[in-house]
Structures are given as structure tokens and as C-alpha cells.
Amino acid sequence: MLTDSVQARLDRARNADSVISVVDRTGRGVGIATEATPEGDSTLTWQFAAEQVRDVAVGASKQFVWDATSTETGTGRSMIHAFYRPEKAPWRRSAEFAQFTVAHLSDTVLPYPYPQMTTIEGPIGGGIESLMVTLMGDLSSSEALFGVTYHEISHMWFPMLVGTNEKKYAWLDEGTTTFNETEGRSAFYPDQNAWVRSEHNHRSVTFVEIPSMRHADRYPVDGPARFVASYDKPGVMLHALRGILGAETFREAYRMYAERWTYEHPTPYDFFNTFEDVAGRELDWFWRGAFYESWTMDHAIQSVSCQGDSTVVTVADEGRLPMPVFLKATYADGRTVERRVDVDAWLNGRRQVEVVLEGESVSRVVLNPDGVLPDLYRSNNEWTPSAPSGKSESTP
Ligand SMILES: [Zn+2]
């Protein structure tokens, strides 16, 4: 269907790391980009073939230009294509964004198994995934286009490769994808703290929460409840889970889940089981708090006192979502120590725990120092001798 010159540029893109303009503004049209139609016939017939796919979409416009490149996936090389109207400036980086995304997810989740990935500028708000193709709307900045590109391409893994039920368990594909997207933003824009921003998104809407474990049709039509439950909150909770399990164990469990359930149809219980298998510990308290309830977490420093030659920090749990205590203390000489209190401390109903630190010269105590836990009120998380911790504020 394509002319020899277009084929030649596509062949170059097949092994190129740079983006090749396959059809530019002046190269469009019959006889230039596509073969001339046979005499007496006004149509060309295109045929498409794909293996191991559960969805399909097509985009066509005589206004499109076509960029292409390719990337290593770990098991071979996949082509990347972008189709868009050339006057839409952010789209000039679309192939580059898609290339980064396929490479990054191949590295951090599983190798991308398909021969190509295509981004198309389409008539939609935001974006929508199909297999090996995504349509994305009129995004005003290149940063916005990057975020949606990473999000939609992440759906090639969840739910395209790992075929979960998108209506019954929306959080299982949108939550993993939101987690991946924030990871992608952090990698592509390293000077922005994408996780802090995401966490704040969650905290600011926490009062409209409805649990994530609910059919997508069963949220109020108005308001952000479905979005919070399916996107932001599970993204934030997976980030917290990584902080609890450690980056290495989390990554191994996440990969194992994808590997076990590629081309299969897992449920949330399969997700939970894989994490417990890999971590070697029971996490019921986490799954319940994160996905079945809309509880919030609030740890607070209640008091800091010297007892003998030790410093005793009393930490109160003022929320309902049980989480381990992450504590960091700084001494007058600048030395720091970190302590963790396992979540078991709370599971029998206790509301306070004591953390004993050696020495009396503690000059600062901070809870949740890296911000990985979804603690709702941050103002009661820090203590210094001059600014003793008070009670929780009444508003976030
Ligand atoms: Zn999505």
C-alpha cells in the first residue's frame, strides 16, 4: 500500500533510535505516500494481522503526518509510530515519548511482546487504549501529552497483556497504570517530584472516597469518586506498599504478577496472592485497608521525653487505616537514625506505641520522613524541642 520511498524510510526507522519522518506535510497523498490505485478502481484494500490481541482500533485522516522510530524491549526490537496533525506542536515529540515509555516499561515490568506501538491524535478527551494503539486528544502541553502517553501505553501491560476485568475491578488496571505513570513521570522529569504531587491529589479528595473494590458502574455519576477509587488511591497505595515491602521485593512481586498472568484473566485475589508469595508474609491488613475500606491514616507524635539516658517518642494512631510507623530522629550532632514499628503494633487495637531512642540529645523527630505513607495530616508528624507537637488540626 505504501510507495517505495515511504517503505525505505520505514526500513530505516526499524533499527533507528532517532525519530524518522516517514510522511511529512508535503509527502501526503495518493501516489506519494500510498500507491496509486489500479486503473478503473478508486480504492486500496488494507489488510491487518495481529496475534495474541483482545482488542483492535483504527485511525485514519488525510491530515496526519507519520513519524516512526523503534526501541529495544529486552526480547527484540519493536517499532514505534506516531500519527498526528503537524500543527499540533506537542505531538512532534509523540514518537519520542512512546519510545521512552515502551523501553521503560519493558525494563521495569516485562518486555513489550508486540511488534509495534502506535500513538494517534484522535477525537477524544484524554486518551483511550486499544492493543498496540492508543488514541489521545488535543493535549495542550508536551508534559500533558507525555503523561497520557505513558498512561495509555502502560495499559498494554494492564489490562491488555494481563487481562483483568476493567468494569468489575477498575482499580486493577487503572491503579497499576497510575502507579506506572507516576514512576514514568519521575524517570522522564527527574527534577519534579511526581509522587509528592500524586499523593497530594489523593489526600485532597479523600473525603469523597468510596472503596476501590466496587463495580465501576456503582459509583455516583457526578463527582470524582470513581476516579479517586480506581486511579489515584490505588496508585498511592501501591507506592506505600513499595515503601513497606522495600523496592526490591515490591518489584519482584509486581513482575511476578505480570509474568504469571500474561494472556490470562486474574482477579484481585491473584494479585494479592502473588505479593504474599513473593514477600513471604501475610498482608490482609493492607489489602483490606487499601482496597475494601475508605479509611484514612493519621500518625501523630504525642510526646517526646527523656527517660534516664534514653529518649522516648510516643506515637499515636489517630486514623483508622493501619500502617507501620516510619520514624527518623536527628541528634544535636547531626547524626540520624531511622526506626520502624511493624503494623502488628496496631492490629490488636492499641492506639499508642513507644519508640525508645538511645541518648538524650535528640533535636528532631519526623514520622513518615520520605512521604511514602498516605498520612492525612502532616503537621503532627514533626517534633523539635522548640516546637512541641500539638493535637491534630481539624482540617487538612
Ligand atoms: Zn487508564
Average pLDDT for residues 97-113, to the nearest whole number?
98
Of 140, 112, 146, 104, the residue nearest 125 (C-alpha)? 140
User: What is the whole-number distance in angstroms between the Cα of residue 230 and the centre of ligand 1?
Assistant: 9
CA–CA–CA angle 347, 344, 369 (5° rounding): 110
User: What is the whole-number distance in angstroms between the Cα of residue 343 and the centre of ligand 1?
Assistant: 31
CA–CA–CA angle 302, 306, 308 (5° rounding): 140
CA dihedral 178, 182, 184, 190 (to 10 degrees): 170
User: What is the whole-number distance in angstroms between the Cα of residue 191 and the centre of ligand 1?
Assistant: 25
User: What is the whole-number distance in angstroms between the Cα of residue 154 and the centre of ligand 1?
Assistant: 8
Average pLDDT for residues 161-187, to the nearest whole number?
97
Between the two ends of the chain, the Cα-to-Cα distance in Å is: 60
User: What is the whole-number distance in angstroms between the Cα of residue 362 and the centre of ligand 1?
Assistant: 46
User: What is the whole-number distance in angstroms between the Cα of residue 133 and the centre of ligand 1?
Assistant: 13
User: What is the whole-number distance in angstroms between the Cα of residue 126 and the centre of ligand 1?
Assistant: 9
User: What is the whole-number distance in angstroms between the Cα of residue 197 and the centre of ligand 1?
Assistant: 18
User: What is the whole-number distance in angstroms between the Cα of residue 260 and the centre of ligand 1?
Assistant: 22
Q: Using alpha carbons, list the distances in angstroms from residue 91 to 195, 200, 327.
A: 25, 29, 45
Domain range annotation of the chain: 4-161, 170-292, 299-383
Residue 14: the pLDDT is 97
Domain 299-383 has CATH 3.30.9: no
How many of the other CB atoms lie within 10 Å of CB of 310?
13
Backbone phi and psi for residue 108, each to the nearest 5 degrees, phi listed first: -95, -20
What is the pLDDT confidence band of residue 363, given thresholds at 50, 70 and 90?
very high
Residue 255: CB partners within 8 Å, gap ≥ 6? Answer: 109, 110
Could you give the CA distance from residue 78 to residue 388 in angstroms, rounded to a whole number? 57
Residue 38: the pLDDT is 80
Is the model's pLDDT at 391 over the cut of 60?
no
Is the model's pLDDT at 364 over the cut of 90?
yes
Please indicate, yes or no, whether the overall pTM of this predicted structure exceeds 0.85. yes
Q: Please answer whether residues 262 and 271 qualify as being in contact, where contact means their C-beta atoms are separated by less than 8 angstroms.
A: no
User: What is the whole-number distance in angstroms between the Cα of residue 312 and the centre of ligand 1?
Assistant: 46
User: What is the whole-number distance in angstroms between the Cα of residue 128 and the centre of ligand 1?
Assistant: 7
Is the model's pLDDT at 200 over the cut of 80?
no
Is the model's pLDDT at 291 over the cut of 60?
yes
Percent of the chain residues past pLDDT 70, beyond the cut = 97
User: What is the whole-number distance in angstroms between the Cα of residue 288 and the centre of ligand 1?
Assistant: 23
Over the chain, what is the mean pLDDT?
93
Residue 381: CB partners within 8 Å, gap ≥ 6? Answer: 299, 300, 301, 366, 367, 368, 375
Q: Please answer whether residues 317 and 299 qualify as being in contact, where contact means their C-beta atoms are separated by less than 8 angstroms.
A: yes
Which CATH entry fits the domain spanning 170-292: 1.10.390.10, 3.30.1490.20, 2.70.70.10, 2.60.40.10? 1.10.390.10
User: What is the whole-number distance in angstroms between the Cα of residue 209 and the centre of ligand 1?
Assistant: 19
User: What is the whole-number distance in angstroms between the Cα of residue 175 and the centre of ligand 1?
Assistant: 8
Backbone phi and psi for residue 282, each to the nearest 5 degrees, phi listed first: -80, 135
User: What is the whole-number distance in angstroms between the Cα of residue 152 and the centre of ligand 1?
Assistant: 6
Average pLDDT for residues 145-158, to the nearest whole number?
98
User: What is the whole-number distance in angstroms between the Cα of residue 100 and the centre of ligand 1?
Assistant: 18
User: What is the whole-number distance in angstroms between the Cα of residue 183 and the centre of ligand 1?
Assistant: 15
Residue 284: the pLDDT is 97
CA–CA–CA angle 292, 295, 299 (5° rounding): 135
Grid cell 489517630 is found at: 318
User: What is the whole-number distance in angstroms between the Cα of residue 176 and the centre of ligand 1?
Assistant: 9
Most confident of 60-64, 257-261, 368-372, 375-379: 257-261
Q: Which residue type does 263 have?
A: Y
Residue 250: the pLDDT is 98
